[in-house]
């Protein structure tokens, strides 16, 4: 199956291109191809292996990514190396009710404080989240949850909650939003690949289409080098 959806109304078929670009030098450093219905994070190991073969470029100083890659092992490798990951955080949605962003989560003390200033401890099993025991008598309950009176509000704590917390701080400041816009250069590189490779996959299978992406990326890199030489002349 090679059919995927970006939303209920937007469907895409075939394969997805993934690239790694040097934000300083504008060169494409690595490429990957995945079926359209597979999550973006599955391309990260292939991209990481390509980067590892590059001389003096196997250390990532800053990783600017689309948030679709935030769950990949590459992100964890960068964090383990005490490098910085720059991307948009996931946005919590809850209709007209209070969202997760309305709660203050303290990952150091493992507590969460709701808008009514009730404080609960975060459970050890993070993915199960936090349930407020005082929900039934809370004055903000009608705007917080539609659960039964016997149940309280549950807030899910992600496995990468510390990273998401930092990214929410980043996007909240003008300086942080400016840093997020640096990734636009990668989108430009993808836009340059489109006309060279075409909108439709020429081959059947990932391996041959990966060859096509790498060939188009090589041409794009040669054009970039030519522009640099002409500019310096």
Length of the chain counted residue by residue: 233
Average pLDDT over residues 119-127: 65
Q: Is residue 218 classed as helix, strand or coil in its secondary structure?
A: helix
Burial class (CB in 10 A: 0-12, 13-18, 19+), 69: buried
For the record, the structure tokens of 4 come out as 């995927």
d(Cα 145, Cα 143) in Å, to the nearest integer?
6
Lowest pLDDT segment from 28-37, 116-125, 195-204: 116-125
**β-pairing verdict for 104-106 and 130-131:** unpaired
d(Cα 149, Cα 144) in Å, to the nearest integer?
12
Q: What are the angstrom distances between the C-alpha of 118 and each of 134, 137, 148?
A: 8, 11, 19
Q: pLDDT grade, residue 167 (50/70/90)?
A: very high
- Give the closest residue to 78 by CA, choosing from 211, 208, 158, 87: 87
- Give the closest residue to 160 by CA, choosing from 87, 221, 97: 87
Residues 93-102: pLDDT tens digits? 888 888 888 8
Average pLDDT over residues 56-73: 83
pTM assigned to the model: 0.78
Sheet harboring 104-106: ordered strands across?
A: 104-106, 111-113, 119-121
Q: DSSP secondary-structure letter at 35?
A: E
Question: pLDDT averaged over the chain?
Answer: 83
Q: What are the angstrom distances between the C-alpha of 56 and each of 29, 46, 61, 86?
A: 12, 18, 12, 22
Average pLDDT over residues 199-211: 84
The DSSP bridge partners found for residue 155 are 130
Q: pLDDT grade, residue 126 (50/70/90)?
A: very low
Q: Residue 56's pLDDT is what?
A: 61
Q: Torsion over CA of 105, 111, 114 and 120, rounded to 10 degrees?
A: 160
Q: Residue 233's pLDDT is what?
A: 78
Q: pLDDT grade, residue 61 (50/70/90)?
A: confident
Ordered domains of the chain (ranges, CATH): 3-90+178-232 (3.30.420), 100-157 (no CATH)
Backbone region of residue 17 per phi and psi (left: phi > 0; alpha: psi in -120 to 50; beta: other values)? beta
């Amino acid at each position: 199956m090679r059919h995927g959806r970006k939303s209920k109304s937007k469907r895409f078929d075939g394969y997805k291109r993934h690239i790694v670009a040097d934000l300083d030098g504008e060169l494409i450093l690595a490429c990957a191809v995945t079926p359209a219905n597979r999550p973006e994070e599955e391309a990260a190991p292939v991209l990481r292996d390509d980067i590892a073969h590059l001389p003096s470029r196997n250390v990532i100083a800053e990783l600017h990514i689309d948030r679709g890659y935030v769950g990949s092992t590459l992100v964890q490798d960068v964090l383990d190396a005490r490098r910085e990951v720059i991307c948009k955080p996931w946005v919590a949605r809850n209709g007209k009710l209070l969202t997760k962003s309305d709660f203050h989560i303290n990952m150091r003390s493992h507590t969460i404080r709701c808008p009514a200033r009730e404080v609960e401890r975060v459970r050890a099993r993070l993915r199960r989240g936090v349930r407020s025991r005082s929900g039934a008598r809370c004055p903000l309950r009608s705007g917080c949850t539609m659960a039964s009176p016997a149940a309280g509000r549950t807030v899910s704590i992600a496995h990468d909650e510390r990273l998401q917390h930092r990214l929410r701080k980043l996007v909240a400041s003008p300086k942080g939003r400016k840093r997020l816009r640096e990734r636009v250069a990668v989108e430009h590189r993808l836009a340059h690949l489109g006309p060279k490779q075409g909108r439709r996959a020429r081959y059947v299978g990932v391996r041959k289409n990966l060859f096509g992406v790498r060939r188009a990326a090589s041409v794009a890199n040669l054009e970039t080098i030519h522009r640099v030489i002409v500019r310096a002349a």
